[in-house]
Chains A and B, each alone.
Chain A
Amino acid sequence: MSTRKKVLWGVAGAVIIVYCLFPIAWIVSVSFKAPSDLANKSFLPSELTWQNYELILTGGASELFLPALRNSFAICLIATAISCLLAMFAAYAIARLDFPGKKLILSTALVVAIFPVISIVTPLFNLWRQIGLYDTWPGLIIPYLSLTLPISIWTMSAFFREIPWEMEQAAQVDGATTWQAFRKVIVPLAAPGVFTTAIIAFFIAWNDFIYGISLTSTEAARPVPAALGLFTGASQFEEPTGAISAAAVIVTIPVVVLVLLFQRRIVAGLTNGAVKG
């Protein structure tokens, strides 16, 4: 590549990065502004202050925010774990076995995935209240599974299809039961797929707002996105913008950490060397 090309690529890259990251930079900046400083007509705060973070972590809003953070973490992790486990078995069956109704399962999964959440939430609200799931963890985990399972099954079956059949047959000839072949050969090979799926599933659950706000009423189960919507200013003349920004920054951190943690595992090409090619 010539120097000229390199420069052009560099500039283009920088433009895209600024375009993508500018809103995030703005939120970070706002989170450090005092309420009186919000309308200072400049990007940077005139004075750096931690008071928004204090407000949500130790101050008045902490009663709303901290339990919500705990709920969000627990609910999303449980939903992700369950959906990964179920999707792994389902995807294996879809990729490997020939059974009647295979197409049906896949297309149903797709239909569920594209079904608008808002149209389900009202009947669900009534049903959950009647059977006692309203405002509980399972009350959110179950709808989250309906969001995460379809995409997990689709992603993972794509990964399973990539694994050569011979791997498993070789294991069987070597003396493995079907379960041993699955556990010792297929699952390790599918690990990148499982991690990718887990991250996608976690994001979907973590970002949900509609179920969170509709199916909860107290801090018993309310997740962070819903809690953010309930922030109020110190008085009715004050906007809670600063506090919301601070909370948004905190909520973003686990997602970033998760990606950094697992990005090494999300490398395709682990199957290199399994077969000649």
Chain B
Amino acid sequence: MAAIEMKNIVKQYGDGFPAVNDVSLDIADGEFMILVGPSGCGKSTLLRMIVGLEDITSGDMLIGGKRVNDLAPRDRNLSMVFQNYALYPHMTVYENIAFPLRLSKTPDDEVRRRVTEASDVLELKDHLERKPANLSGGQRQRVAMGRAIVRQAEAFLFDEPLSNLDAKLRGQMRTEISRLQRRLGITTVYVTHDQTEAMTLGDRVCVLRKGKIQQVASPRELYEQPVNLFVAGFIGSPPMNFLPAVPKGNRLETPFGDIEIDPARAGKLAGHDLLMVGIRPESFEDATLVEESKRHLGSTFRARVDVTEWLGDSQFAYIPYEAPEAITTQLRDLSRELDAEDLRTQAIVSIDSTSRMREGREAEFWLDSRKVHVFDPETGENLTRDAEAGAELTRLATQDRVEQVEESQQRASADGGQRDGGRRGGATAVGSA
């Protein structure tokens, strides 16, 4: 177990294209760090530089305080789960998991003990003598994880490990990975383009764009206090709605009527003629269903509903709006960069599932003006971000993590004590070593 520190890491390819550009990132010991971003943002390259499969053009990579830039992958003592698992097809599951131990010339009975432990944790006991070709996708995935946890690596690296599984299995494996990481308490770096994985698994999430870090924060901070348009648009599903706005004193004129914001935040907007307002779908509501006590905290407006989607537990309404050329261009660029389908100038709004709003009719909506973000349309910067509130969210998340790790490790050892002292005791020893 070790912390991973990256200092001004740059990866330049032969043609001078910087895939990773001046990335500095500290990953604490035992932390679950997610690298996320649209395809081509350099997240996989960064992971492969940590493990040593890509050369580092410049900058320092420190693992456990030791500079590893020039070390071969095998000398870095990290374990990695590849996107396509990369199991050895000519070996049985047992030998696949045992492979790292065989390479380090571990004695046979030690190998057997450790492989048994790992296969117990991953419920692979019944499949040890089978070949990878005969396993299902989820089982192959678990074998790949078994190969990673069997030795006492400094850190786990995952390269989009769940992208080849179907949706249901992905959910299962996601919780499995989370449970395992908490239990072993090992530093983990996880690359994904799936924001559900990013939000649910990570202690902290690092959002990358074109090889540059945009924001490193806990999932809650990313969601509630994004630093810029890119992060705001990337995190959240359905995505944040962006509307053009013209500031007038404490009010913002938008296609959805005037939004009043508190003077402190309005002060930050001085000197801009055109702004972009970002509002999450759940900040809207069907005005007829808003409690009277809340009503004055936001503004109401009338708009024509294009389409509604009723999903049982929730309901979405699509509201088209007009926007000036500058804003539509900016939005189109953003959606292209996020690999999203072309964002039409329409707002996606989450309303209560009991709402009887009709498609094609006008309806009255309420929006919570406390939760409005205002962005500079040129630089994309979030002008109303509250850095302190954000930092507080991340601090709380860190605290949670420490408690969770302690708790799950205690539970694991208590569990082991009851079931089979010797073997399970060994399993926790792997974690706390």
Contacts and interface: CB of A to CB of B under 8 A. Distances in A.
Contacts of A234: none
Contacts of B79: 173-174
Interface string B64-87: 000000001110011110101111
Contacts of B321: none
Of listed B79, B90, B134, B151, residue having the most chain A CB within 10 A = B90
A170 B140 contact: no
A167 B86 contact: yes
Interface stretch (B99-107, B215-223, B250-258, B366-374): B99-107
Nearest to B89: A274
Interface stretch (A116-124, A137-145, A265-273): A265-273
Contact-size category for A: 20 to 34
A167 B74 contact: no
Contacts of A270: 89-90
A272 B90 contact: no
Of listed B78, B86, B88, B147, residue having the most chain A CB within 10 A = B86
Contact of B72 (A172, A189, A275): A172
Given A170-B82, A275-B86, A176 B164 contact: no
Contact of B140 (A166, A171, A276): A276
A10 interface: no
Interface string A171-182: 111111100100
Contact of B133 (A166, A177, A189, A273): A273
B135 interface: yes
Contacts of B78: 173
A272 B84 contact: no
Contacts of B134: 273
Contact of B84 (A166, A171, A177): A166
Interface in B95-149: 99-100, 103-104, 131-135, 137, 140, 147
A169 B90 contact: no
Given A169-B82, A277-B84, A272 B89 contact: yes
Given A166-B86, A170-B82, A273 B135 contact: yes
Contact of B104 (A166, A175, A188, A189): A175
Contact of B103 (A164, A176, A274): A176
Given A274-B132, A276-B140, A174 B90 contact: no
A78 interface: no
B345 to A, nearest CB: 39
Given A185-B88, A189-B89, A271-B89, A175 B133 contact: no
A273 B127 CA distance: 14
A176 B52 CA distance: 13
Interface in A246-277: 270-277
Contacts of A189: 88-90
14 contacts: A172-B73, A173-B80, A175-B77, A175-B103, A189-B90, A270-B90, A273-B87, A273-B89, A273-B131, A274-B85, A275-B84, A275-B86, A276-B137, A277-B84
The 4 closest A-B pairs by CB, nearest first: A273-B133, A166-B86, A275-B84, A170-B86
